[in-house]
Chains A and B, each alone.
Chain A
Amino acid sequence: MITDVGTDVTTSVAPVALPADRSFFWALVALAAATAALAVGLHLRRGSADREALAAVSTEQLAVRAGAGRDAQALQQLRYRAQGGAAQAQQALGSVLASTEGGDRTEALQWLQAAQQQGDAQASYLLGRLHLQPGAQHDEARAARDFERAAAAGHAGAALQRGLMARRAQEPAAAARWLAQAAQAHDPQALFLLANAAREGNGVPRDEARALTLYREAAALEYPPAHQALAMAYERGELGLARDSDQAREALAEVAHSLKHPPVER
């Protein structure tokens, strides 16, 4: 039932500031390549047991160790794999560098672009996020293309983000199409926003039954606003529901609970 898209929750990207000066940027890219080469050298000098143990670790897990785990060896192994040309490692290294304090943001961008060129959907998604942030790299048109590229490869988060861009551009029908694509892949935020759209007839035909189904699916994924929408609907007898204060109370309790673990931004 749950498709294999958009489940990567490896990293959340913190706001980054990238230098405005492009030549400075490419100088840093060169520096990054040199650093990577140095990393290879260090890698070769390390104990073979360590190396073998790390070699068996998945790239995604290495990214957790390098990021949340603050593990320099894991970061080095990630760099080694990225330098070796593995798209997933380039993406993972880029996202780790972009999201950790003191990470080299410029190098992050370089690795993400390298991964994107190899067709890595998560890299395209992350680049889209970066291109939406304020700063020199801000480029809405590029962000839209990044998201479209990732969404075409089945990335639910990218479809959601592209849908949010369409909403901001006052294109409700296009927004609803993107949200539907993300909702199809069980993205809770997309399910909720699409439910709102169906309830209001905003970009899609007004359809309360569909809205209810979508709210319920988002609630089953523990999306707090969906529980709250259901609570209010039960309280007032909206969306075709019979008034039921017990159900309303239960749904409100689920709001409190699910708010402790809202969906993790991809």
Chain B
Amino acid sequence: MTFNRRIGWKMGSGLGAIALGAGLLACGGSDDDTPPASAPTVAAGTTAQLALLETTDLHTNVRSFDYFKLADDSTLGFERTSTLIKAARAEFANTLLVDNGDTIQGTALSDYQALVNPVACTGTLAIYKAMNAAGYDVGGIGNHEFNYGLPYLAQVTGNAFDVDGMPAVGTQPKCAGPAFPQVLANVYSVKSKQPLFKPYTIVTKTLKAKDPAGKDVSVPVKVGFIGFAPPTILAWDKRWLDGKVYTEGVKETAEKFIPEMRAKGAELIVVISHGGLDSSAYSPTMENGSWHLSKVAGVDAMLIGHSHQIFPDAASTVGQFNQTGVDKAKGTVNGVPTVMANFWGKHLGVIGLNLKHDGSKWTVDTTKTSVQARSTQNADKTYVAVDATVAPLIDAEHQATIAYVKTPVGTTDFRMTSYFADVGEPGAIEIVNQAQADYVSTYIQANLPQYKTLPVLSVSAPFKSGFAGGADFTDVAAGPLAINNAADLYLYPNTIHAVKVNGADIKAWLETAAKRFNTINPALTTAQELVSTYPGYNFDMFTSADMQYEIDVTQPVGSRIRNLTYKGAAIDAAAEFVVATNNYRASGGGSFPGLDGSKTIYASPDANRDALIAYIKTAKNLTRAGNGSHRSWHFTKVTTAGPVTFKSAANQLTLAQAAGLAGITLQQADDGSGKSLSVYAIDLAQ
């Protein structure tokens, strides 16, 4: 791990010549070098091989571990990428290790370090600890770096930001950042009109090279790195960035700084661009500017990211890699060698450059350049072994995150399950609706006065409803509720959306949800299955005393909702309501009538799951009476000549009784599917 490390920089104008010598670890602050007074001479004809190694979109996945499942996941994690890095360092005489960004956010570990138990000013983020040990030379800044706000970003990167809303730069503490420089050229402070980060850095690397006679020599090369983030951060993290930072177009920024970097002695220019390829007409606000960056004069290589894709890949069907100028087999964009190393540490990008010195500067023999995205997955579908040195570096943070995920946030006096949700039991759904309604209602009262007078309702669905068998249900035991139970109660990583709808929309919404049921013929004496193949995750329902309706399963799809009332009165088709739901449904997921994004009045950045956790923390002790017994709907009563049946997990009849459901009986203890399901019957006359 100590070879091929960055060689050091000039640490300030008064410090004189560049420090040379393998293994010297320089910390931070390396930019804006001027050419040294006594640059070592390199003989014309000297050659060297230099590999640029890229990670991107690591999203704090240090360990091969899934914090939701609390289980190992060998498909991801830097502890495996690190194995690829070591192999590349053994293969290439000279390497520079670079991270593209989207590094500090994305797992329960990152939330733990940012929000739950914030890392101290003197502390180093777990992901940066791993990267420091790996000897990264440079890092870029992605859009997700901004997700926790500017003060946090300043702290964990060891910067002071001269922006509104933060103390004067001189009074901001100097916190520990990573041990490598981080660059970002196109994000500017509104206040100072200066780049937020160092726009670029010039790394002097001592190369193991061959002189013209074939003798081993150590000679320096100066590699300039410049970083870019998507200008669309201004929209994505508006709540943190509005009025504080703005962006400059990536192309103009590159055209401004690259000549400056050359003038300061950079012999190679490497672009670290957190963005994909988009060959449409250039705009300074385009999200994926890397294609246009390749056209800027003087760019020798590009390390790109953001799209969570693999480049090069001759077989890629991804649109951005099938554009003009993009060679997806060779790994070039308009002739510039380019790599995108997937995400979560699944791949390592490798650009092998063959350098030749002409007596005054290094040039790249472009005919010999190689570009690869190397997978942690072997040809036989197994994964490379972990680098065992990585896990111990962050073990304390890893264990603390696991403990956090298991931390009780409240209790429940009843078992919260979806076993009988299809026949009206709200035990696993009402808490979700309560949390969503509370979240939206609070937001509207504070921020959207124009909707203040509208009733706020909420819908949710039994996401797990037995499709895969008896184990495929929500089932949270009575007793303490932990963070990871929130993922049991709310399966999807959605965000809260609020839509404004009228009474007619609500009826159409419920009619669509009622597709969950087959049409029942009361005259049939044979058994009829109640539940159709329509997915349970689309069976949206209200669970509040205020909203009442019947589902008449004897009627065809579209004509089943009866006696729809709000607070005891029939709902006027024109009456307006706000309904709390999730981004998927509000955007048209499931094709509910009228829902296509245009009715959304609030698209929250907050996850339904997080709202649920917050609600449970406040409510503390959940009870059946308060949080699991409010039914909005019943079946329209009808006497059937034969049994009406449905399947649920085996041996759960007592739960139906505990929930107060009438008329449920066990028909067949084993449905014969071998999936731990029983056949139950419901008496629709009760």
Contact = CB atoms under 8 A, between A and B. Distances in A.
Interface string B338-380: 0000010000000000000000000000000000000000000
Interface stretch (B27-35, B319-327, B543-551): B319-327
Interface string B178-197: 00000000001010010000
A9 B494 contact: no
Interface in B570-595: 583-584, 587-589, 591, 594
B190 A70 contact: yes
A64 B584 CA distance: 30
A214 interface: no
B583 A217 contact: no
B284 interface: yes
A249 B396 CA distance: 27
A9 B247 CA distance: 13
B236 interface: yes
Contacts of A196: 588-589, 591
Given A193-B588, A229-B589, A260-B236, A168 B494 contact: no
A215 to B, nearest CB: 11
Contacts of B252: 57-58, 61
Nearest to A68: B246
A140 interface: no
Nearest to B243: A70
A3 interface: yes
Interface string A2-20: 1111011110100000000
B493 A255 contact: yes
Contacts of A1: 279, 319-320, 322-324
Contact of B598 (A2, A5, A10, A168): A168
A10 B285 contact: yes
B319 A252 contact: no
Contacts of B583: 224-225, 259, 262
Residue with the highest number of chain A CB atoms closer than 10 Å, among B230, B323, B583: B583
Contacts, number: 160
B246 A64 contact: yes
A236 B535 contact: yes
Given A68-B247, A236-B535, A252-B493, A9 B597 contact: no
A94 B114 CA distance: 39
B492 A69 contact: no
B493 A2 contact: no
B335 to A, nearest CB: 18
Interface residues on A, range: 35 or more
Contacts of B537: 232
Residue with the highest number of chain B CB atoms closer than 10 Å, among A5, A10, A67: A10
A193 B245 CA distance: 34
Contact of B236 (A197, A246, A261): A261
B307 A222 contact: yes
B279 A69 contact: no
A160 to B, nearest CB: 9
Contacts of A228: 492, 494, 584, 589
A264 B106 CA distance: 20
A67 B232 CA distance: 13
Interface in B275-292: 278-281, 283-287
Nearest to A254: B308
B493 A225 contact: no
A8 B495 contact: no
Interface residues of B, number: 65
Contacts of B143: 260-261
Interface in A229-266: 229, 232, 235-236, 246, 250, 252-257, 259-262, 264-265
Contacts of B307: 222
Contact of B494 (A67, A199, A220, A255): A255
A260 B144 contact: yes
Contact of B492 (A3, A61, A255, A264): A255
Interface string B204-245: 000000000000000000000000001110111000011101
Contacts of B193: 69, 71
B234 A68 contact: yes
B318 interface: yes
Given A64-B285, A70-B243, A232-B537, A200 B591 contact: yes
Nearest to A196: B591
Contact of B286 (A7, A221, A225): A7
B598 A164 contact: yes
A264 B235 contact: yes
Nearest to B106: A257
Given A60-B285, A61-B284, A220 B318 contact: yes
A126 B8 CA distance: 52
A168 to B, nearest CB: 7
A83 interface: no
B163 to A, nearest CB: 12
Residue with the highest number of chain A CB atoms closer than 10 Å, among B248, B283, B603: B283
9 contacts: A9-B287, A60-B249, A64-B284, A65-B246, A250-B75, A252-B493, A255-B492, A256-B493, A261-B230
Report, nearest first, the 8 A-B pairs whose CB atoms are least far apart.
A256-B493, A69-B246, A68-B246, A4-B281, A61-B284, A264-B235, A1-B323, A2-B280
Given A7-B278, A193-B588, A262-B236, 17 more contacts: A1-B319, A10-B285, A60-B283, A68-B190, A68-B245, A71-B193, A196-B588, A197-B591, A220-B320, A222-B307, A225-B588, A232-B537, A236-B467, A255-B494, A256-B493, A260-B147, A264-B235
Interface of B: 59, 75, 105-106, 143-144, 147, 188, 190, 193, 230-232, 234-236, 241-243, 245-249, 252, 278-281, 283-287, 307-309, 318-320, 322-324, 343, 467-468, 492-495, 535, 537, 583-584, 587-589, 591, 594, 596-598, 603, 605, 607
Interface of A: 1-5, 7-10, 12, 57-58, 60-61, 64-65, 67-71, 164, 167-168, 186, 189, 192-193, 196-197, 199-200, 202, 217, 220-222, 224-225, 228-229, 232, 235-236, 246, 250, 252-257, 259-262, 264-265
